[in-house]
Chains A and B, each alone.
Chain A
Amino acid sequence: MDTNIILQLENLVKYYGSGENLVRAVDHTSLEVERGRFTAIVGRSGSGKSTLLHLIGGLDRPDEGRVLIDGTDIFALKDERLAQFRRKKIGFVFQDYNLIASLNVWENLVLPLGLDNRRVDVAEVNAILQKIGLEDKKNAMPNVLSGGQKQRTAIARALVSKPAIILADEPTGNLDSQTEMEVMSLLKNCVQEFGQTLVMITHDETIAQMADRIIEIEDGKVV
């Protein structure tokens, strides 16, 4: 087991529909991601990148193929174990609807820890809050946060549980260009500092540039 490769996709296949309506969302894709790198997956909409991310994160099951995170075949795990695995190893940042509306910022941050029955290191969480610049909004509810602030909270949440790999699905898609830069800057910074791996989906070349490695997807295949 090459411990340097944190993520390995082996011949992943995911089709939707059948016959004429057959959509090859992921078509025999294999790739490897090194630990600690920022990898961007680029492609037009409809190219299957979202499906790919879902498969990587274990949110959807492939028709064929394996996904190995840290050497573990995640789809060989039972649902309960898979959820646990996700809690400990994977962090998600979505384009929107990242936060639970009825929880304030702090609670949203410690949510993954709570689900995993881990103790909350208050000092650590505060440090992260400071890093993303929301320490004065600890008790704020999501409905008063701007888009950028919400995404920053989401990033912080993904960091709090110290996952090995963070999967981001167009996290800056709904943001204006300045906030976009801010969020990307924070993301990159934090990931580097904590030594995590970042896999991000984007269709924007401006964002993709910032990655250490760019993978292009077209029609479900890696080009």
Chain B
Amino acid sequence: MKMTTRVAFDNMKYHRSKNILIGIAIMLTTFLLYVVPSVGKGMIDTQNAAVNKAYPTWHAMYRDVDADTAQKLVLHHDIEQSGLMVHVGEMMLGKATVSLMYLDESAAGLYRVMPERGRLPEAEDEIVVSQGILEALGQQADIGDTVRVPYQVYRDGGLDYGQEKEFRVCGFLADSDLSREQKVYTAFVSKPFAKMEIPQEQLTYRILARVNGNNGVMTTAFEEQINNIAHQFGIDEKQIRINDDYLWANYIDPSTVPMIAGLMLIIMAAGIITIYSIYYVSINQRVQEFGRLKAIGATKRQLRQIVLREGLWVAAIAIPAGLLLGTAAVKIVLLNLGNFATGVSVYLTVLRQVIADGEVPTVYPWAYVLAVAIALCSVYLSLLKPMRTLSGVSEVEAMRYRGGAKKAKAWRKGFTELNIWRLTMRNLADNKRKSAVTIASMAITGVLLMVVATVLSCASPKLCADNTILGAYELSPIVEQNNREHPEREWGKIQQDNPLNETLKAQLEHLDGVQRVDVFSELHVRTDVMEEDWNYLNGVPEEYAQELERDIIRGAVTYEELKSGDKVIVDSILTCWYPELDVGAKVKLTIQDGDRMFEKEVEIAAVGNYRMGLSNYAFIYMAKEAVDALSDYNSSRYFHVIADEKYEPALARTLEELVLDSGNLELRTWQQQYAYWKNNMAVVGCACYVFLGILAACSVMNLINTMINSVHVRRKELGMLQAIGMSDRQLGKMLRLEALFYTFGTLAVSVGLGSLLGYPVFLYAKAEKMLEITTYRYPFAAAVIVSVTLFAVQEILTLALVKSVRKDTLIERVRFRE
């Protein structure tokens, strides 16, 4: 081994305590460097896998496309993948509904309905059924057997007369729970069959398409693209069905990568600061050592190498340890991802299954490489200054060194009487720079912690829930646009026969625990400015007039004026997307009411910033009176039930039953929102605190090192103090005071500065509407915990130091003499 390497190795062993601390710091840093990107990528991968398993993977379905258009459509360059479907007909069965469909392989793949056993039909008389279908038919069959199927074909715009045919089963489908529950099934038939049964001119296809695009694009952009394509081929918008769930689930926030990169930088900075300050504090002692080396002939370059290699030796041990821990941690986190989310949904079930089946990797080789590279980089960067200082030492100066580079005072007016307190103060005053460096590096982490804690504690799930839903319960009709299967769910139709009527209102108000029911109306509108997008006119009732007026940020209008129907308030969200919609603009609204559409010109009197509960995605506000006046029908869109308690199980159950019974209403409860937010925040909060906790542990290494060093440098002095009669208790008091000074200093800066900085960060978060933060709450809990932990660490440290000083100095002194 080269001499420098050998010397570095021995140095490492000699300065054991300091290097242990540095080692721990490196280990923690590496741990975080590995865990953060791995968990990030792992989460994304897991989600993708689950999504792709749970949902059908098509983006859009174009309906009623004739053969020619279909051919051209599938060749469009933006269409990544496409499949053809034909709705041939239906089986004639009483209780169950079984459609007969033809899907080509691609469509079957996109729709995730490949037969479990067997294959898709090819011959004219082949059919793929499921167990449920067989039960509905009242027949038993397996692959190769025949079944007798009564059916009707779609001809001439409707179901034709019944027919019967013998089919041969060539494949079996799995039945989903939903199918079984609702007794709605689909059986597959072959293309020849479809062509045979339906006349050429009437044969229309449904096309399942996947559109090109990257995952970072928002759903609306996708939708735009899909609509554009439809436009190009003359397909009516009403014939487009978009797989919203799938698109949403696949959406990855493009800000994820920069965020992770940012985190890595923070980790790296923390590591560098800690390692550097640990070196800084003990540099003075090493000057002598390096001076000696230089005197016996080492060159500057060799000295630099020794310093660097000593650090690398430590890293060589610490980095693998960190990676090992990190691997374990990542495994644990990723394997338990499913348990973080509450609630039940198909998606989550699949998620858990995907994780359980181990379909997603929990180890990422590139993450190892990245972590090691950055860790080594940090070590190198933090050693740059020490390398320069130590190699620039002059031999003579170093040899003459008597432990203490004091550009110290020669004279000082001192105290007349001394006590432990003053002794400590004096010692600290002499080491101002060291103290400052230690406190500064610890405080940085502290400040970060306080700021994050402020944001997290302001994010109250209660408040979030309050913001996303008005009142305790929200009833609304099930509204779906462009759902060909359920045309009655169009808002226009619902308006004409609105389940949210006076009877229901009275019924609700009579329930136990209900104070009142607030009603919001809504109308579908479009504007030229917003192009293809639909939005809603939000009819806000009198009870929320004050809120409406209060949260205006630009312009001015009173609720009275909003009753006229000529003035509107626009939500600031809209102005983000469409800057033309600002105060004073005159907008022509195309309003849909029932079956008719009419135009109305309104003036935007103000722009406001409103909570989600108030807007419910309807961003143009008017007084309810005005909206009702515009509509011929019952435009009540939401019944907000204001109850005595935010959640009362009996009442909730009653409402649930009511909704279930009606079949066309849906219920959102405050409790749901609250649970959702609480869970969300718990997870996020947990992750944040763990991350910060590890960073904090890193900087505690700093404190430990400073204290140890301060004792080590003065060990002869301390021994002498003991000789002239300082008792152990007094020594402990002195060390404790010193540690207390560091603790207080760090806390003062962390808590003080952190609290001060917390407020502007809070304001920023509020503006960005992160976590629905609206009110400022001081993170008392975090401050207390940080303080207590720091004090505990300091106390333990002091005790350990007193023990070690006592043992050490006496022996040391004896050996020194002899």
Report A-chain residues with C-beta under 8 Å of the C-beta of B416: 106, 110, 120, 122
Between A and B, 29 residue pairs with Cβ closer than 8 Å are A45-B818, A46-B818, A50-B814, A59-B723, A59-B813, A83-B722, A83-B725, A83-B726, A84-B725, A84-B727, A85-B725, A86-B723, A94-B723, A95-B817, A100-B717, A103-B418, A103-B423, A103-B426, A106-B414, A107-B418, A110-B418, A114-B417, A115-B418, A115-B724, A117-B419, A120-B416, A120-B417, A143-B408, A144-B410
Closest 8 CB pairs of A and B: A87-B725, A114-B418, A83-B727, A86-B725, A50-B817, A102-B430, A107-B414, A97-B716
Per-position binary interface string of chain B over residues 419-449, scored 1 when its CB falls under 8 Å from any chain A CB and 0 otherwise: 1101100110110000000000000000000
Tell me the B residues contacting A by CB distance below 8 Å: 404, 406, 408-420, 422-423, 426-427, 429-430, 716-717, 720-730, 810, 813-814, 817-818
Q: Does A148 contact B (CB under 8 A)?
A: no
> How many residues of chain A are within 8 Å of chain B by beta carbon?
50
Q: How far is the CB of B698 from chain A (nearest CB, A)?
A: 30
The one of B406, B417, B429 that contacts A113, using a Cβ cutoff of 8 Å: B417
Report A-chain residues with C-beta under 8 Å of the C-beta of B729: 80
Q: In the complex, A171 Cα to B716 Cα: how many Å?
A: 16
Q: Which residue of A lies closest to B408 (CB)?
A: A143
B411 touches A141 (CB 8 A): yes
A115 touches B726 (CB 8 A): yes
Q: Does A11 contact B (CB under 8 A)?
A: no
Q: Which residue of A lies closest to B811 (CB)?
A: A60
B724 touches A91 (CB 8 A): yes
Report A-chain residues with C-beta under 8 Å of the C-beta of B426: 102-103, 107
Report B-chain residues with C-beta under 8 Å of the C-beta of A106: 414, 416
A103 touches B724 (CB 8 A): no
Q: How far is the CB of B497 from chain A (nearest CB, A)?
A: 90
Report A-chain residues with C-beta under 8 Å of the C-beta of B423: 100, 103, 111, 114
Report B-chain residues with C-beta under 8 Å of the C-beta of A95: 817
B414 touches A119 (CB 8 A): no
Report B-chain residues with C-beta under 8 Å of the C-beta of A101: 404, 406, 408, 430, 717
Q: Does A131 contact B (CB under 8 A)?
A: no
Q: Which residue of A lies closest to B430 (CB)?
A: A102
The one of B414, B419, B728 that contacts A104, using a Cβ cutoff of 8 Å: B414
A110 touches B814 (CB 8 A): no
A169 touches B817 (CB 8 A): yes
Per-position binary interface string of chain A over residues 29-67, scored 1 when its CB falls under 8 Å from any chain B CB and 0 otherwise: 000000000000000011000110010010110000000
Q: In the complex, A119 Cα to B419 Cα: how many Å?
A: 11
B814 touches A139 (CB 8 A): no
Of listed B415, B721, B728, B817, residue having the most chain A CB within 10 A:
B817
A113 touches B418 (CB 8 A): yes
B725 touches A100 (CB 8 A): no
Q: In the complex, A58 Cα to B720 Cα: how many Å?
A: 13
A57 touches B723 (CB 8 A): yes
B724 touches A157 (CB 8 A): yes
Q: In the complex, A97 Cα to B714 Cα: how many Å?
A: 10
Q: How far is the CB of A139 from chain B (nearest CB, A)?
A: 5
Report A-chain residues with C-beta under 8 Å of the C-beta of B814: 50-51, 54, 60
Of listed A82, A103, A139, residue having the most chain B CB within 10 A:
A103
B730 touches A115 (CB 8 A): yes
Of listed A104, A122, A144, A169, residue having the most chain B CB within 10 A:
A104
The one of A45, A60, A122, A139 that contacts B810, using a Cβ cutoff of 8 Å: A60
A79 touches B727 (CB 8 A): yes
Q: How far is the CB of B433 from chain A (nearest CB, A)?
A: 14
Report B-chain residues with C-beta under 8 Å of the C-beta of A143: 406, 408, 410
Q: In the complex, A45 Cα to B723 Cα: how many Å?
A: 21
Of listed B408, B415, B720, B725, residue having the most chain A CB within 10 A:
B725
Report B-chain residues with C-beta under 8 Å of the C-beta of A169: 817
A86 touches B412 (CB 8 A): no
B730 touches A83 (CB 8 A): yes
Q: In the complex, A80 Cα to B727 Cα: how many Å?
A: 6
Q: In the complex, A157 Cα to B818 Cα: how many Å?
A: 25
B412 touches A104 (CB 8 A): yes
Q: In the complex, A87 Cα to B720 Cα: how many Å?
A: 12
| Given A111-B418, A122-B416, A104-B726 contact (CB < 8 Å) | no
Q: Does A98 contact B (CB under 8 A)?
A: yes
Of listed B415, B422, B720, B724, residue having the most chain A CB within 10 A:
B724
A83 touches B818 (CB 8 A): no
B726 touches A140 (CB 8 A): no
Q: Which residue of A lies closest to B417 (CB)?
A: A120
Q: A59-B813, A60-B814, A92-B720 are in contact. List 15 more A-B contacts (CB 8 A).
A: A45-B818, A80-B728, A102-B427, A103-B414, A103-B426, A106-B414, A111-B418, A111-B724, A114-B417, A114-B422, A122-B416, A139-B414, A143-B410, A144-B411, A169-B817
Report A-chain residues with C-beta under 8 Å of the C-beta of B716: 97
Report B-chain residues with C-beta under 8 Å of the C-beta of A45: 818
Q: In the complex, A141 Cα to B411 Cα: how many Å?
A: 5
Q: In the complex, A116 Cα to B429 Cα: how many Å?
A: 23
Q: In the complex, A91 Cα to B720 Cα: how many Å?
A: 11
Report B-chain residues with C-beta under 8 Å of the C-beta of A86: 723-725
A114 touches B410 (CB 8 A): no
Q: In the complex, A25 Cα to B720 Cα: how many Å?
A: 21
B411 touches A59 (CB 8 A): no
Q: Which residue of A lies closest to B428 (CB)?
A: A102
B720 touches A97 (CB 8 A): yes
Q: Does A90 contact B (CB under 8 A)?
A: yes
Q: In the complex, A182 Cα to B727 Cα: how many Å?
A: 33
Q: How far is the CB of B774 from chain A (nearest CB, A)?
A: 53
